[in-house]
Amino acid sequence: MSIATVLTGAAFGASLVASGVFQPSVILSQFRLENWHMTQAFLTATASSALFIALFQALGSTQLKPRNFSSQGLFAHYDGNLFGGLLLGHGMALAGACPGTVLSQVALGLPSGYLALAGATLGGIVWTGFLASASPAAGAAGDRKLAIHQVLGVSRGAALLAFEALLFAVVAGTAAWTTAGPEAVISPVLGGLLLGGTQLLSLAARGSLVGVSTSYEEVGEWFWRAVRGEAPRKYTSILFSLGILAGSWSVARLFPSLAVIVEVDLEPSSAVTGGFLMVVGSRMAGGCTSGHGISGMSLLSVSSFITMGAAFGWGAAVARFQ
């Protein structure tokens, strides 16, 4: 399982670099609605991931449930998804990174990536040491409708078909009416298929879906256990992240044209603050752009749509006024 986790992480990291979505310029230009590279790759990855999940579940190879809601106990059972998504989007707009792409940035030596990773690591330490204990424990789903098809009162197959059609329309429309930037060494759609292929590998090799932000929580747990003189216990997500670093570095060395960086100006304080916020937000929401986005939305999870809607909506607002 450890080898499968590292290999899956390596494939994910290689796909992040090949697709170009690891670049700060791609993330920031998407939030500014100047370039739809990120949306095309992200939605293609989600669409293909949803089909792979449906196939594996139809074959009985795995049974994955929609993601539960995350609550902060303020006004609704989904308020953690909402507020966590807002923090995630704010952090991404400041750092030009997400919890997964920052690892690819570090592997390729981007200065802003190192700073964002420092902030992200601090976010994991603060979350596990102070904030997680102040958050309500996740309760049982009970009678709550966790999936879109349950809310709409239709079959999962019908909802999946409509979801795939919607994603196809958005990707095709943006591809037809917009032009990809210099970061698109390969088509964003092909990059998205590579990312979706990583989900296929993860399902086949591990029986689970991709997700990154838990690794920062594990780092935080390692830190606090070291302070108490205790041995670390969890490391699966850390292995996945180490795989991302290795895969990103390897594909950049094998195919240097994929790793040509489009420079953007990022204030060091913005990178650190953004890294901190995106990890705190993703842990509050229970997932990030991979765990809630590519994986959670593929399961038609209502909580994932809330989280990612808040992240991208607020991220666009932050980028507009930066």
Give per-residue pLDDT as tens, 285-296. Answer: 999 999 999 999
Task: Judge whether 118 and 272 are in contact, CB under 8 Å.
Answer: yes
pLDDT at 143 over 80: no
pLDDT at 322 over 90: no
pLDDT at 209 over 70: yes
Closest alpha carbon to 147 in 160, 165, 138:
160
Rounded CA-CA distance 43/189 in Å is 9
- pLDDT the model gives residue 21: 98
Q: What are the tens digits of pLDDT across the range 34-69?
A: 999 999 999 999 999 999 999 999 999 888 999 999
Rounded CA-CA distance 218/221 in Å is 5
Rounded CA-CA distance 123/139 in Å is 24
Rounded CA-CA distance 261/72 in Å is 39
Contacting residues for 58 by C-beta, under 8 A, at least 6 apart: none
Note the pTM of the prediction, 2 decimals.
0.97
Computed over every residue of the chain, the mean pLDDT equals 96
Residue 141's pLDDT band (cuts 50, 70, 90): low
Residue 321's pLDDT band (cuts 50, 70, 90): confident
- pLDDT the model gives residue 136: 81
- pLDDT the model gives residue 278: 99
- pLDDT the model gives residue 221: 98
% residues pLDDT > 90 (the chain): 92
pLDDT at 134 over 90: no
* Average pLDDT of span 100-110: 99
- pLDDT the model gives residue 139: 63
pLDDT at 156 over 90: yes
pLDDT at 137 over 80: no
* Average pLDDT of span 268-291: 98
Rounded CA-CA distance 159/152 in Å is 8
